[in-house]
């Protein structure tokens, strides 16, 4: 409920920013926000009760605002699309808007989806809905998040990662030098697939055995550094030394297009990791994200401090303790990481 003129002005600014975010660059969006705030300063606004204002307040409009907010936070388009698909499916099935949705509606939706999708996917859909309704609650559009108190049986699902035996089998697969380097790199760094395909050769410091880049979900352009164990350093070094092409990409296609390879995309990289896992006799799905989970699990199993794991993984929800460790710099992170790496 809007009680003051200031609240009304903030609402107008937010609605304009949300509407323009999908088509305006970040810097321009900030300039636009400043200009609108300046123009509205001192004005007393009152919402006109018309069909137009009601139309702007629809569920779909709120979903677009949510998407714009996630985009500004640095969330990837594919992730935002997942949020929106889940939310739209829910609202269509419930036949209600975001204001009318209840805890029972959430339960009914999840009960129907139980017979259609896997347990892991069901948990992900619940999290997607919780993110949307959590944002609506934080922004003051609803009184409470109806998803928050909904519990799923077996919600603490097994975190899928490779066993030590599977990891060894994957490393031992006979494959091209590029694929060998890629597998070693993923197991050593735990980077996201979007991060891996975006990396360039200049991001790698082979002398220090480190890779520095802007994290996929980082805010305010924050850079992250991950490290190469001996195995990854050896194979990545051999792979890069064998390259005679001019493509800046860290991992490039083996096939040439007009005499030059292309940067590997997300789908191509996932195809490579899944094929390697099949050849290793690993039955679980060998996505890049499983490699990422395996990286974190191995560090945790060997006693690596959780704040170091969070820093290496690039998680955005780190607290005060994590921030204090970041402030101490890369050297401490490297020192801690070296205690728990894979030794070839």
Highest-confidence range of 18-27, 142-151, 210-219, 232-241, by mean pLDDT? 232-241
- Beta-ladder partners of 205: 210
H helices of the chain, in order, are 5-20, 26-40, 51-56, 59-72, 77-94, 103-114, 119-138, 164-171, 177-189, 193-198, 230-242, 266-279, 288-301, 306-313, 320-327, 330-338
Residues 6+ apart with CB under 8 A from 162: 170, 282, 284, 290, 291, 294
Residue 334 pLDDT > 70: no
Per-residue pLDDT tens over the stretch 239-290: 999 999 999 999 999 999 999 999 999 999 999 999 999 999 998 889 998 9
CATH numbers and ranges of domains, the chain: 5-101 (no CATH), 164-338 (1.10.443.10)
DSSP category for residue 312: H
Residue 159 pLDDT > 70: no
SS3 30: helix
Nearest alpha-carbon partner for 183 in 194, 197, 173, 195: 173
- For residue 260, count CB atoms less than 10 angstroms from its CB and return exposed for 0-12, middle for 13-18, buried for 19 or more: exposed
Answer yes or no: are the C-beta atoms of 33 and 53 closer than 8 Å: no
Answer yes or no: are the C-beta atoms of 128 and 145 closer than 8 Å: no
Per-residue pLDDT tens over the stretch 281-327: 998 889 998 998 888 888 877 877 877 888 888 876 543 223 322 22
């Amino acid at each position: 409920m809007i009680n003051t003129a200031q609240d009304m002005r903030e609402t107008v600014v937010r609605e304009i920013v949300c509407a323009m975010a999908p088509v305006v660059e970040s810097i321009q969006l900030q300039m636009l926000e400043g200009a609108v705030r300046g123009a509205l300063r001192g004005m007393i606004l009152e919402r006109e009760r018309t069909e137009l204002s009601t139309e702007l307040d629809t569920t779909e409009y709120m979903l677009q605002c949510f998407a714009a907010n996630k985009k500004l936070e640095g969330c990837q388009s594919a992730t935002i699309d997942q949020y929106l698909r889940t939310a739209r499916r829910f609202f269509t099935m419930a036949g209600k808007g975001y204001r009318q949705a209840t805890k029972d509606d959430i339960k009914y939706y999840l009960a129907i989806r139980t017979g259609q999708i896997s347990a892991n996917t069901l948990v992900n859909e619940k999290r997607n809905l919780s993110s949307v309704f959590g944002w609506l609650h934080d922004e003051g559009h609803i009184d409470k998040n109806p998803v928050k108190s909904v519990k799923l049986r077996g919600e603490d699902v097994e975190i899928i990662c490779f066993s030590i035996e599977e990891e060894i089998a994957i490393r031992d697969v006979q494959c091209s030098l590029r694929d060998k380097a890629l597998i070693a790199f993923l197991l050593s760094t735990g980077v996201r697939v979007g991060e891996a395909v975006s990396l360039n050769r200049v991001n790698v410091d082979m002398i220090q055995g480190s890779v520095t880049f802007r994290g996929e979900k980082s805010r305010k352009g924050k850079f992250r550094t991950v490290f190469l164990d001996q195995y990854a350093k050896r194979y990545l070094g051999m792979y890069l030394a064998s390259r005679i092409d001019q493509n800046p990409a860290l991992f490039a296609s083996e096939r040439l297009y007009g005499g030059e390879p292309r940067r590997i995309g997300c789908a191509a990289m996932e195809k490579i990791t899944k094929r390697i896992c099949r050849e290793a006799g690993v039955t679980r799905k060998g996505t890049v994200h499983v490699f990422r989970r395996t990286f974190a699990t191995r560090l945790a199993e060997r006693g690596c401090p959780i704040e170091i794991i969070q820093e290496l993984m690039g998680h955005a929800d780190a607290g005060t303790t994590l921030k204090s460790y970041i402030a101490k710099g890369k050297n401490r992170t490297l020192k801690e990481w070296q205690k728990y790496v894979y030794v070839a």
